[in-house]
Structure 1
Amino acid sequence: MKFLTLTIAAASIFLASCGGTDSTSNQATSETTETQTEELAVESPAVAALAANNQISITGNDLMKYSDTLFKVKAGEVVTLKMSNVGKLPKSSMGHNFVLLKSNVDVANFATEAMSAQDTDYIPASLVNSIIEHTKLLGPGESDEITFTINNPGSHNFLCSFPGHYGVMKGRIIAE
């Protein structure tokens, strides 16, 4: 009996020392981490090591992942991007696209609006002016190629606007 009591007491102390955070603290940590990630994207060694390349090839798959999430391009020059869906699941449940947003566009707000834009392949008409360029929504084995120019140096978010995908299917293009 003493062993059981001791085990329960030890487990209680262990659990109290491990968890016990409230949602406010988790939210703050999440926001801090996301903000730090955004700031690091432009100044990180990974970005510094990237060579600018205005010919981009990217894929999306059934695991809701892009093949690459960070690109560097030359500002003021034409960029050609080819997007391919290499997955096998149907477009209706696992379609993918590439949507490049103008700087300072709220990605979460854009993705929320996009969820209700099924008739326009999840490109919300109300936010078309927030987009630099986008591919069509792609089913398995489909590809699309787009061209665009980012005139001003800086960082631009891209995402898949299919409902629920933007949380993991997102990245950045740095124009220098």
Structure 2
Amino acid sequence: MRFAPLVIVASLFAAGSAFAAGPCDLEIEGNDAMKFNKDSLSVPASCKKITVKLTHTGKLPKASMGHNWVLTKTADMQPVANDGIPAGPAAGYLKAGDARVLAATKLIGGGESDTVSFDGSKLKAGEAYSFFCSFPGHVGLMKGTFTVTK
């Protein structure tokens, strides 16, 4: 029984490691008050693949309070949001094939989540990136900075 404590500690460490997100795996929440729980996200430039999980912690359906997570260069944020409105909810309020959209989750409602993974090597340290929700009118409150660190 001398090894029992060691086994327990090793098991706890292994379980904790399985749930620990790395620096390239990010999580963010949106709610019914039209707010993200974070106003900035960052990843190291060494990330080859970046994964962002969006969880809608509210209760309202996506038809009335849908949220998504969209990444663009900061200068492109408002034009992408404006150009996406005519695309409608089925397209996540994003214009089809818009090359300015660097990554985006699908539009989700209360209690739902979605994950997007994208090529981190296409992002550059020092470039100004922003994330936002493209649901009409949400970009004013639901936005933040996305930084690639050296």
For normalisation by structure 2, the TM-score amounts to: 0.76
The answer to whether the aligner puts 1:132 opposite 2:102 as a matched pair is yes
Q: Give the superposed CA RMSD.
A: 1.7
1:96 to 67, 86, 94: 67
Cα distance in structure 1, aligned partners of 2:70 and 2:92: 11
Residues 60, 84 of structure 1: 8 Å contact kept: yes
- State the one-letter code of the partner of 1:166: V
- State the one-letter code of the partner of 1:109: P
| Misfit runs of 4+, over 6 Å | none
Moved more, 92-101 or 73-82: 73-82
Cα distance in structure 1, aligned partners of 2:24 and 2:40: 13
Cα distance in structure 2, aligned partners of 1:69 and 1:56: 13
Q: Which residue number in structure 1 is paired with residue 26 of structure 2?
A: 56
Count of paired positions: 123
Q: Which residue number in structure 2 is paired with residue 165 of structure 1?
A: 138
Question: Any idea what the Cα deviations from partners look like across 1:22-61, whole Å, max 9, x if unmatched?
Answer: xxxxxxxxxxxxxxxxxxxxxxxxxxxxxx9322110100
Secondary structure in 1 matching 2:99: helix
- Using CA pairs under 8 Å that are at least 6 residues apart, name the structure with larger relative contact order, 1 or 2: 2
Q: 1:106 Cα shift?
A: 2.6
1:166 to 1:56, Cα distance in 2 relative to 1, 3 A: same
Taking every aligned residue pair, what percent have the same amino acid on both sides? 38
1:139 to 1:107, Cα distance in 2 relative to 1, 3 A: same
Matches of residues 62-77 of structure 1 in structure 2 within 5 Å?
62-77=32-47
Secondary structure in 1 matching 2:144: strand
Secondary structure in 2 matching 1:131: coil
Q: Which residue number in structure 1 is paired with residue 52 of structure 2?
A: 81
- State the one-letter code of the partner of 2:144: G
Cα distance in structure 2, aligned partners of 1:133 and 1:123: 11
Cα distance in structure 2, aligned partners of 1:108 and 1:131: 11
Secondary structure in 1 matching 2:79: helix
The answer for unaligned runs of 5 or more in structure 1 is: 1-51
1:147 to 114, 117, 135: 117
- State the one-letter code of the partner of 2:107: L
Question: Any idea what the Cα deviations from partners look like across 1:115-170, whole Å, max 9, x if unmatched?
Answer: 111141211126x2001110000011111111123332133111100000000000
Cα distance in structure 2, aligned partners of 1:60 and 1:104: 20
Cα distance in structure 1, aligned partners of 2:78 and 2:104: 17
